């Protein structure tokens, strides 16, 4: 048996698919204001894999995350979490699936100002009537470095600390899959590295599945693979990324963008 810094057995890596988009299309608006945010995207996110999504502003990264997490409707194609087709679910079932299986870290933190840090972290479980696993919760809180701030409300916390509350909240319920939309965008490099290290460890040691949007090649290098989006389409993929390789790939897209 392997004991890890998380104090649990090393998770067995599987190749099962945690989430899958097939020809996923999302169109916003109508007529002249119509925007094709996702144009027949097909992509798989395997269990215990850490995927980074990159691409220029407006390329559809947040839209892809929102559609896959059941936070936004799709216009065409399919979005699955495990074996469940999201488009087949009514509102009630979708809400339950989101609550029970999906963690989401938003581009904005979405913390409730009247609740303290701990109450914010356990809110989704409180709503679901689930008791937090205390050992896991302590470990999450400790790892994101919030042990001394649990009684503070968001306006008494720094931006980085608020982001860490949002990270802890998304992980507290041990979701099957975690979507994170620029989780380190508001953090200084040290706090950012801590959060990224934590996400990577949760994948490597606990078999957590993580899909993360980032603009930062260094953040992307924590992932197992990087998927590149442009104009609502997947245009490239990189495995075992290094920051240099990611930067190189991004430069190539920029160059193409300028010449086309
Ligand atoms: N609610 C909406 N109504 C209309 N258009 C939208 C809506 N949400 C997003 N879009 C459009 O869809 C496209 C993709 O947006 P999205 O937010 O997914 O981009 P992104 O890749 O996350 O960008 P960023 O890096 O700036 O966060 C953009 O052109 C955007 O203007
Ligand atoms: Mg976005």
| Residue 217 to residue 106: CA distance in whole angstroms | 19
Q: What is the pLDDT of residue 173?
A: 84
Taking only the tens place, the pLDDT of each residue in 102-137 is 999 887 778 999 999 999 999 988 988 888 899 989
Q: Which residue has the higher pLDDT, 252 or 5?
A: 252
Cα dist. 63→57, 75, 116 in Å? 11, 12, 30
Residue 240 scores a pLDDT above 50: yes
The pLDDT > 90 percentage for the chain reads 61
Enumerate the β-bridge partners of residue 76.
25
Taking only the tens place, the pLDDT of each residue in 135-170 is 989 988 887 788 899 999 999 998 778 888 998 898
Q: What is the pLDDT of residue 260?
A: 43
Q: Which residue has the higher pLDDT, 8 or 170?
A: 170
Taking only the tens place, the pLDDT of each residue in 172-187 is 888 889 999 998 887 7
- Dist. CA 84 → ligand 1 center (Å): 26
| Residue 201 to residue 207: CA distance in whole angstroms | 9
Q: What is the pLDDT of residue 256?
A: 61
- 182 — phi, psi (to 5°)? 50, 60
**Neighbouring C-beta atoms of residue 228, cutoff 10 Å:** 23
Closest to 170 in 3D by CA, of 83, 82, 101, 80:
101
What's the predicted TM-score (pTM) here? 0.87
Residue from 21, 32, 58, 182 whose mutation best tests the ligand 1 pocket (most atoms within 8 A of CB)? 58
Q: Which residue has the higher pLDDT, 226 or 11?
A: 226
Q: Which long-range contacts (CB under 8 A, 24 or more apart) does 192-200 make?
A: 192/216, 192/219, 194/143, 194/144, 194/145, 195/144, 195/163, 195/164, 195/167, 196/222, 197/222, 198/143, 198/144, 198/167, 199/50, 199/167, 200/50
For domain 49-65+89-259, the CATH class is alpha beta
| Residue 214 to residue 250: CA distance in whole angstroms | 12
**Mean of pLDDT over the chain:** 88
Residue from 26, 27, 29, 59 whose mutation best tests the ligand 1 pocket (most atoms within 8 A of CB)? 59
Taking only the tens place, the pLDDT of each residue in 192-233 is 887 898 889 889 887 889 999 999 999 999 999 999 999 999
Residue 84 scores a pLDDT above 80: yes
Q: Where are the domains of the chain?
A: 49-65+89-259
- Dist. CA 68 → ligand 2 center (Å): 14
The pLDDT > 70 percentage for the chain reads 92
Structure tokens at 189: 């490099």
């Amino acid at each position: 048996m392997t004991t890890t810094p998380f104090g649990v057995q090393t998770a067995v890596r599987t190749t099962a698919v945690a989430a899958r988009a097939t020809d996923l299309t999302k169109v916003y608006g109508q007529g002249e204001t119509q925007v094709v945010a996702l144009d027949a995207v097909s992509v798989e996110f395997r269990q215990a894999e850490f995927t980074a999504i990159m691409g220029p502003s407006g390329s559809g990264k947040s839209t892809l995350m929102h559609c896959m997490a059941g936070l936004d409707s799709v216009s065409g194609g399919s979005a699955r979490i495990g074996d469940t087709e999201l488009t087949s679910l009514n509102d009630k079932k979708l809400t339950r699936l989101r609550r029970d299986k999906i963690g989401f870290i938003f581009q904005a933190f979405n913390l409730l100002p009247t609740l303290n840090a701990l109450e914010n972290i356990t809110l989704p479980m409180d709503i679901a009537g689930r008791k937090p696993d205390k050992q896991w919760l302590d470990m999450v809180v400790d790892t994101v470095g919030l042990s001394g701030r649990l009684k503070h409300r968001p306006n008494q916390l720094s931006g980085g600390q608020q982001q860490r509350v949002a990270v802890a909240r998304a992980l507290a319920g041990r979701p099957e899959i975690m979507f994170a939309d620029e989780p380190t965008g508001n953090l200084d490099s040290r706090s950012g590295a801590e959060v990224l290290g934590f996400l990577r460890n949760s994948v490597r040691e606990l078999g957590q599945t993580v899909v993360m949007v980032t603009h930062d090649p260094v953040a992307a290098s924590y992932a197992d693979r990087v998927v590149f989006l442009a104009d609502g389409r997947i245009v490239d993929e990189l495995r075992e990324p290094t920051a240099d390789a990611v930067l190189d790939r991004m430069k190539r897209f920029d160059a193409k963008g300028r010449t086309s």
